[in-house]
Amino acid sequence: MSSISLISLNNGSYIPFLGMALWQDPNHPENNIKHLLNEAIELGIRYFDFSHFYENEIKIGEIIKEKIKKGVLKRKDLFISLKLKKSVQNIELMEYGVKKALNNLQLDYLDLVYIEMEDFDEDDCNKTWKEMERLYKNETIKAIGVCNFNEKNLNFLLKICTITPAVYLLDYHPYMDQLNIQSDLNIRTIQLGLRNPFKQPWIFSRFTNILKNTNIQEIAQRYKRTPSQLMLRYYYQKSNIVLIKFDDLKELKEYMDIMFYVAAEDMCMIKSLLKQQANT
């Protein structure tokens, strides 16, 4: 089993550097997610990310319960996160959404719950975050965070919050040059997480695939690694959390094999390449 490094959060807890987004691809057989989850656990993945939108919590909860019962892992070894979208972000439904996830997953608590607000409203954000803080204080949630907040929205939240977000997650494309926010997040002790940096959704369609960049490929060849492994190691050395989606066991094994070191000059070169592409 591979060992995945842990990153400390501002509340004293720890999150694995690499996590698995447990989506259900309609183009794959229904049991595909079960197979991938079983294999991921065997390989050492302990961070799993859910959303009610995926509609697979019950199946996954059964697998986790079975693994714990057989002694393959313990609950404390897992890091389980849940994304709540705006549709369940109000005082009446916030707690229900969390309880539904806990019931479906057959768990007593969630390690991280983060909110995404596509249509940002300050009053809505204020009420939602206060409820998040209440659930956190009741220990139903071990950490709270946000997803895809722009700088203005994040600054508003930081002005009104009592508990600072532990994690700031982004649907990320390497060419979007979003890593320029990292220094500011470090000052605020908020951990940056990157969601799905290699398989970008349609909103990033104007960008080319980072893994097909010839310069990235040349650097990867020098380390006798694939472009995916090089970029994951790059993010790891920058202390970023990465949530990945993968379709088969071969792909997961590739992502897990990043026990090498990227030299400082190559780290700078990769950063420079990403900035150049972001400005084209």
Tell me which residue of 105, 53, 38, 112 sits closest to 79, measured CA to CA: 112
**Two structure tokens written together for 3:** 């060992």
Q: Give the model confidence (pLDDT) of 138-187 as tens digits.
A: 888 999 999 988 888 999 999 999 999 999 998 766 666 555 677 778 77
State the Cα–Cα distance between residues 151 and 176, nearest whole angstrom.
14
Is the pLDDT assigned to residue 92 strictly greater than 90? no
What confidence score (pLDDT) does residue 57 get? 84
State the Cα–Cα distance between residues 212 and 130, nearest whole angstrom.
44
* Tokens 């693994």 -> residue: 67
Model's pTM, two decimal places? 0.89
Q: In the 8-state DSSP scheme, what is residue 54?
A: G
Q: Could you tell me the sign of the dihedral formed by the alpha carbons of 98, 150, 191, 198, in that order?
A: positive
What confidence score (pLDDT) does residue 208 get? 66
Q: Give the model confidence (pLDDT) of 125-138 as tens digits.
A: 898 899 999 999 98
- Range with the lowest mean pLDDT among 5-9, 42-46, 172-176? 172-176
State the Cα–Cα distance between residues 97 and 99, nearest whole angstrom.
6
State the Cα–Cα distance between residues 43 and 35, nearest whole angstrom.
12
At 252, the amino acid letter reads L
Residue 109: other Cβ atoms inside 10 A: 14
Output the DSSP codes for 157-219: HHHH-SS--SEEEEE--GGG-GGGGHHHHHHTT-EEEEE-SSS--GGGTTSPPGGG-HHHHHH
Q: Going from the N-terminus, what domains does the chain have, and what CATH number goes with each? A: 6-207+235-259 (3.20.20.100)
What confidence score (pLDDT) does residue 176 get? 60
Is the pLDDT assigned to residue 1 strictly greater than 50? no
Is the pLDDT assigned to residue 202 strictly greater than 50? no
Is the pLDDT assigned to residue 270 strictly greater than 60? yes
What confidence score (pLDDT) does residue 69 get? 93
**Cα radius of gyration (the chain):** 19
Is the pLDDT assigned to residue 199 strictly greater than 50? yes
pLDDT averaged over every residue in the chain: 85
Residues contacting 13, CB < 8 A, separation 6+: 111, 142, 143, 166
Q: In the 8-state DSSP scheme, what is residue 72?
A: S
Residue 157 burial class via C-beta count within 10 angstroms: exposed 0-12, middle 13-18, buried 19 and up: buried
Is the pLDDT assigned to residue 79 strictly greater than 80? yes
Q: Give the model confidence (pLDDT) of 232-267 as tens digits.
A: 999 999 889 999 887 778 888 898 899 899 999 999
115 near 84, Cβ under 8 Å?
Answer: yes
**Two structure tokens written together for 157:** 């939240």
Confidence of residue 89 (pLDDT cuts 50, 70, 90): low
What confidence score (pLDDT) does residue 274 get? 81
User: What's phi and psi for 193, nearest 5 deg?
Assistant: -120, 140
User: Is 54 among the residues known to form the active site?
Assistant: yes
For the segment 12-40, the average pLDDT, to the nearest whole number, is 77
Q: Which is catalytic among the residues 47, 54, 236, 255?
A: 54
Confidence of residue 118 (pLDDT cuts 50, 70, 90): confident
Q: Give the model confidence (pLDDT) of 203-230 as tens digits.
A: 445 556 778 889 999 999 999 999 999 9
78 near 111, Cβ under 8 Å?
Answer: yes
